[in-house]
């Protein structure tokens, strides 16, 4: 497959993200149908509808590129390129009427046995904020170049944390939550991994750490952090998930997060 035009792919991703965001806004105050409910998560019919909308736009523009999404995969899984999509990141927030949720779309290219993100788009339909980045370039928020913060002292840092609710995850995470709450200025548990990464990329947060996370939650945002001058550290976790810590490049080691991410 020939090299995909970054400009064209970004344009398609922005169009798809805005279309899904419109669905989220249009249905904000309407009753929402739950497709499935687990102990600590909710899946909505709107998740599926948003992903179908995104898939239609992306496949029309690039019919040979496969798609890996939270609501299912499509296309040839062996293709050189693949879209990685979270149609509504922060579904539980959205369902309960909290306007902290977004659309996340990344394009990855095969790199040996792995894939490397080449561009990403995150759209918050409630603030009408759109972040985008392409590898080798700068992260932009509504067209303006943004950078990570320069806060390097833990006592002045605002950080975010997330964790799954398994016994192992709680036993690993809660001691760190208490320790970090004492060492930093503020700690936040906000419920949308993609937005937390976008916030690190533009300096609103200084660090975001999560012990068990899915690729579609972070594929776009991790690139944005790197393109904004920060660092995103990942490690494989069981069941295809990831350990992840993203920061401004000044805090991860100072905050001693190694044991949390094992």
CA distances (Å), origin 143, targets 51, 89, 140: 25, 22, 5
User: Which part of the chain has CATH 3.30.540.10?
Assistant: 6-145
Kindly tell me the sign of the dihedral angle through the C-alpha atoms of 189, 194, 195, 200: positive
pLDDT at 94: 94
Class of the 6-145 domain? alpha beta
SS3 45: helix
Interval 156-211: pLDDT, tens: 999 999 887 778 878 888 888 999 999 999 999 999 999 999 999 999 999 999 99
Mean pLDDT over all residues of the chain?
A: 92
Interval 72-92: pLDDT, tens: 777 777 789 999 999 999 999
How far apart CA 55 and CA 51 sit, in angstroms, is 6
User: Which part of the chain has CATH 3.40.190.80?
Assistant: 154-247
Tokens of 185: 């200025």
Q: Which fold has domain 154-247?
A: D-Maltodextrin-Binding Protein; domain 2 (3.40.190)
Radius of gyration of the chain (CA): 18
Interval 97-144: pLDDT, tens: 999 999 999 999 998 888 999 999 999 999 999 999 999 999 999 999
């Amino acid at each position: 497959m020939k090299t995909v035009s970054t400009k064209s792919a970004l344009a398609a991703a922005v169009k798809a993200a805005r279309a899904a965001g419109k669905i989220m806004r249009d249905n904000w105050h309407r009753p929402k149908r739950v497709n499935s409910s687990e102990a600590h998560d909710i899946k909505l019919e709107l998740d599926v509808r948003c992903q179908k909308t995104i898939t239609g736009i992306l496949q029309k523009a690039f019919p040979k590129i496969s798609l890996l999404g939270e609501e299912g995969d499509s296309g040839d899984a062996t293709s050189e390129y693949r879209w990685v999509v979270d149609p509504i990141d922060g579904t539980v927030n959205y369902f309960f009427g909290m306007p902290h949720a977004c659309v996340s779309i990344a394009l990855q290219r095969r790199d040996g046995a792995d894939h490397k993100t080449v561009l990403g788009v995150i759209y918050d339909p409630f603030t009408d904020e759109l972040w985008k980045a392409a590898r080798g370039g700068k992260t932009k928020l509504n067209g303006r170049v943004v950078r990570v913060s320069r806060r390097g002292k833990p006592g002045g840092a605002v950080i975010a944390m997330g964790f799954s609710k398994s016994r192992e995850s709680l036993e690993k995470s809660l001691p760190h939550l208490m320790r970090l709450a004492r060492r930093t200025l503020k700690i936040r548990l906000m419920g949308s991994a993609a937005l937390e990464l976008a916030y690190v990329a533009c300096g609103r947060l200084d660090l975001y750490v999560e012990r068990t996370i899915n690729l579609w939650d972070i594929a776009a945002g991790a690139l944005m952090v790197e393109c904004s001058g920060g660092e995103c550290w990942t490690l494989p976790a069981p069941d295809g998930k990831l350990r992840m810590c993203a920061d401004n490049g000044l805090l991860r080691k100072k905050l001693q997060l190694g044991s949390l991410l094992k």
